[in-house]
Amino acid sequence: MLTDLRHLLRLFAIGRCFARHDALFLLRESAFTPRGAQVALDLFGRVFGRRRAHLRPGERLAAALGDLGPSFIKLGQVLSVRPDIVGPAIAEDLGRLRDKLPPFPWEQAHAILSAELGVPPERVFADIEIEPVAAASVAQVHLANTTEGLPVAVKILRPGVEQAFARDLALFAWLADAAERHLPGMARLRPREVVAALHDWVAIELDLRLEAAAASELRDNFIDDADVIVPAIDWQRTARRVMTVQRIGGIAIEDREALIAAGIDVTAVADRVIRVFLKQALRDGYFHADMHHGNLFVATDGRLELVDFGIMGRLDLKTRRFMAEMLGAFLTGNWRRAAEVHFEAGYVPADRSIDAFAQACRSIGEPILDRPMAEISIGRLLAQLFQITETFGMQTQTHLLLLQKTMVTVEGVARSLDPEINFWNAARPVIEAWAREHMGPEAYLKETASSLFDFARKLPQVARDLEALAETTKAEGLQLSPASIAALAETQALANARRRRPLLWALWAIALLLALAVLL
């Protein structure tokens, strides 16, 4: 009861903050808000709000989200790359929430550095700038030079940020639980799982040692890549609330005019943004899931420079195949295949009609298929695909949330550099190269061979485990059926495989032939 009251009071405080900044319009004008709720919101705004007609709607919304803390600032950052949801003007105003927030005082930063590193920062840095070069919702960054003379950037968590996230995540979990229990159809969207996934992402973002490990893994993946630079980690000056990385010297990707003045081809950079994301997602199955403008810079040679590795995503091979096949099917107008890959992945319940789902895919794809490729928005395609999920009982796939969010963000960044960017032309070489390696006949032969090798390698242990089970069962005096006795007798034969291995050698031979077929 006390927990419910605390959350209700927090919701009231959130609503009052939006009203105070005259920012209730986003909920009040939404097509998804019932008429009765719109009237209630209007009345709430009249009682607790104040008119701020001198400010643009986006400015008012940004101010409200900024006052509400890091969780809501994150929401604003996501909306800043979704003009299809909030409109171009509001999206532009929300962009100031990326890395232009008020910094916390140097005295607090100095105390955190001393506590985390075990010594005053003057002992491990030859110099460190008191004024941060960037201040975001979770941390701020100070430029420094190490005692060895290396230029670095030092990221320091905001004081109290852990407590703020914990409070908001508890509220979100309470709302998710209430939604699943009381709102019809919400269980399909898995709000509890979504909040649990958010909790996991935040836990990683709030431990800078984990972020450092993520940066190190991504750097290994791109160590010889001509498209991107990932800074190296200084592990000796990294702790839970402090991370020190190699300093980068590029131009902020959002400063289009500065890029052009430096002689950098912004169209090539836009193409590179898309290509780098797809290399991460498809090739490596490990991607930077927060690729907004504030986390991207451009080196003088045009390469991307990535920072802020607090939110990362992983995709297994099955998901990557789904992603490649789904995009390919929509691009070629193969609606039947677009439907099949959803069923094969288990995203649509098996009792639904595949023909009806193919028809629904056609209803999404046909209006965009005949348009110029440069005008086809991945964000619009995904948004329309989500709209049909309720009809077919599709459940939210929490492991795809980061992928969906990042795809839309990347598209927004690329289009801000080049409004005429052809997303599909940029994506095609990466998708085709990956498909040749992982989806052709040779790829399936290689995978089959690998599976057979693994199976053959595990057979002796399986036999030993079954023999031990048989001995244990016999010792305990349990009665076995004739069929079980026959099965255990067969297992005993396998257990003698060290002396007689006809089956094992046959499997090795098959695997070897398949491997040779792949190599030749």
Report the catalytic residues. 290
Asked if 441 contacts 293 with a C-beta cutoff of 8 angstroms, the reply is no
b/e code 426-454 from CB counts within 10 Å (16+ = b): bbbebbeebbeebbeeebebbebbeebbe
Whole-angstrom distance, CA of residue 206 vs CA of residue 310: 8
Nearest alpha carbon to residue 65 among 103, 29, 98: 98
Residue 510 and residue 452 in contact, taking contact as beta carbons nearer than 8 Å: yes
Rounded CA gap, 61 and 301, in Å? Answer: 37
How far is CA 32 from its chain centroid?
26
Contacts of 213 (CB under 8 A, 6+ apart): none
Burial 83-109 (b: 16+ CB within 10 A, else e): beebeeebbebbbbbbbebebbeeeeb
Beta bridge partners of 228: 304
Pairing of strands 251-252, 296-298: antiparallel
Q: In sequence order, which residues have a C-beta less than 8 Å from that of residue 314 and are 6 or more positions away?
A: 285, 286
Nearest of 43, 37, 38, 62 to residue 52 by alpha carbon: 62
How far apart are alpha carbons 7 and 14 in whole angstroms? 10
